[in-house]
Structure 1
């Protein structure tokens, strides 16, 4: 596979106007701070040096030392998958929109779910020397060590988004903020989001259930988080029996094929839990094709997309925990800019809308704007 970084063109002016949901305000919604920000002047570099440190630069304690960021007018964002994935495209659009609103040049690098491409992109960004900040949803867990080993020399602020940089999916809260980074922007796709999905389903469904768990690839942090949350839920709901667990490539065709196989082997299944909207689409089609729509309830995390809304309105989806991918991308750039000014109050960023919305249902979907 070619390792040359793939970059996303800047969004045309006005392209984001279709998104009407109120954007997240970093300053107003930050919780208890986990960063120590120390103000200091920066006079390194020259006017002709592309890595010049701003006169108003602020030294930021990132847990393994202090970083005095370079020009925060240039920020790179590494997206885990590619532009054909709805979640990835929305994150990129949000990051670019934040750049336009904040007067920051944001450049997107696609990792295409490939560790080699990811590492090549990261090396390109570091060697460029012109980026003051980096947002990253990593593919490989090795990036945890790579960033910790290089970020001090790079003097570049890093924020994780969507999936934790250094956690295996079993952590929650401030433990999700990786050493060497200034922030982690949560996407409601880990333990907390899974709990919302499972508990909400239990409130809606009565009696024993036969459960199918539709996950992405085994070992992924999101998958591990859902497995942890399920174990806790199952301990309190012993009559909810797992009859099938499927691990997919996160795509709709892959999820469709895997779900078909599981449902053919378990025609008495009553509920399917999905960890991603593209998986949900495959699940919903498989359920419909086997004529089980009246029998099986479908729930998802990493939802809240236009497709989620369509499925909720058509009755093919019973509940969606929104991932608000656009807002997560937006908040990542916002966090990096705030950190560069010494104004970021919390390293753990959780959009307040996640807890306000909870689970979107067919009854509440009309009040939700994807």
Structure 2
């Protein structure tokens, strides 16, 4: 074989890149639906028993794309405490990884964080064959018992049919510490909110926020389809007793006119069910091509202005619980280097988004902390 036709097989060259598909027969397998596990991020799970972000049969029929994307488990969490010396996850997905610009670890993997609420530290991510729709992946095997609060983040861009948690046969398990409040922060928006294109689930910006603000964060980002439809607003309004609504859907709106027409109605629908809950409208991040395309930049500025004017009208009419956040600076001056493709953030971009939004969101929910 000539030098020009040689293939580089990194997996065979670097053992750190390999995936070991070894089943551990010593483990006790537990369902997250059992006590003492706590599942967050799926507002209808207690009623429907599904890892799904919107109801299976809502009162208002959802747009077909939104209905399909609701099966993506972005923002889902499993929380518990254990002294197990081993921790493994067994997963059945709705399909394998298939995205060109997002790692399978972010699309289909689980992340493991260890630590108390507000002090969770990344331990590792599931290592699995990205061509498969089922996997068993060990997080750790310490050979000795150690007590930790565990947070597992669900995949961002795939559905999950089954999850099983593997621990020692004699492991002790208990509930994770309670969050500051049972009221969730509910975020609605686009692929960026959903987590495209984070390298792993814990780096989507709602997940970043959840580790600094000890509340449940419900991720209702719908890739390419967060368009502010009234039927989606009515469904989201069913979520009981929210702490805050965040509306970050500008990037999926095709015109200034649509932004100006959908946003007031979306807010009005939320207000029918939640008259005083704070609502934060966030304009989109800067896209790389806006440095060079004046028409694209003008569209962004026009939609941002429509959002600002909408919020100001609500405030002038007496609703001081509606707020605006200019997302243009969320990524900093070097915003184009914080994305995978000029649009979707890298982990660096998501970290900056979470850190930038944290003070504002913390202020809006401070009565709960």
Do these two structures clear the TM 0.5 threshold for a shared fold by scoring above it?
no
TM-score by length of 2: 0.36
